[in-house]
Amino acid sequence: MKKACVLIADGSEEIEALTPVDYLRRAGIEVTLVGLRGFQVKGARGIVITANAVLESVCDILFDALIIPGGMPGASNIAASAKAVEMIKRHYREGKIVAAICAGPAVVLQGACGLLDGKRFTAFPGTESQVPRGIFVPDRVVRDGTIITSRGPGTAGEFAVSIIECLSGRQAAQSVAEAVLLH
């Protein structure tokens, strides 16, 4: 069974964190929702999310996909965590899927990890200027190798389906998209 991890911190955008959890679980992918500092995380809209694990307990595990939601200051909080940054870089080095949405590509993947130089990416409008050596593409979801990026809350479903396609194939992705009436 494929395994994915969604990192969340205080200020993470709830839709961008929970949509991938929901969709990937519908596809039969085991998803661990990981709180940066604890099990209770207060999202960008004030919704309290209960994580399955805390970063300290899973930072040495290698998942098939590592997912970073946006939202502020959630993305900044993830970027400021040395353990989270090392975990993201290790997953990238090991050829695992590293996916980020909204502010996540600019603030975390590039700002903290330096992973987008020369890579095609998308992000929340305006944040692309924070990735001067990346190749900005204004699509809703962009894949470049093992990196998947997306624009924001309104693209969270497509973002999640793209991750499913990479992990479990096109048929599994289409099945989930149809089940949730995404298309």
Q: Tell how far CA 35 is from the center of its chain.
A: 13
Q: Which of 26, 27, 7 is nearest to 17 (CA)?
A: 7
Helix, strand or coil, per DSSP, at residue 33: strand
Whole-number Å distance between alpha carbons of 183 and 177: 6
DSSP H stretches of helix in 66-155: 74-79, 82-93
Active-site option among 5, 102, 113, 166? 102
Residues 6 or more apart whose CB falls under 8 angstroms from that of 95 comprise 146
User: Residue 112: which of 64, 80, 66 has the closest Cα?
Assistant: 80
5 a catalytic residue: no
Residues with catalytic roles: 102
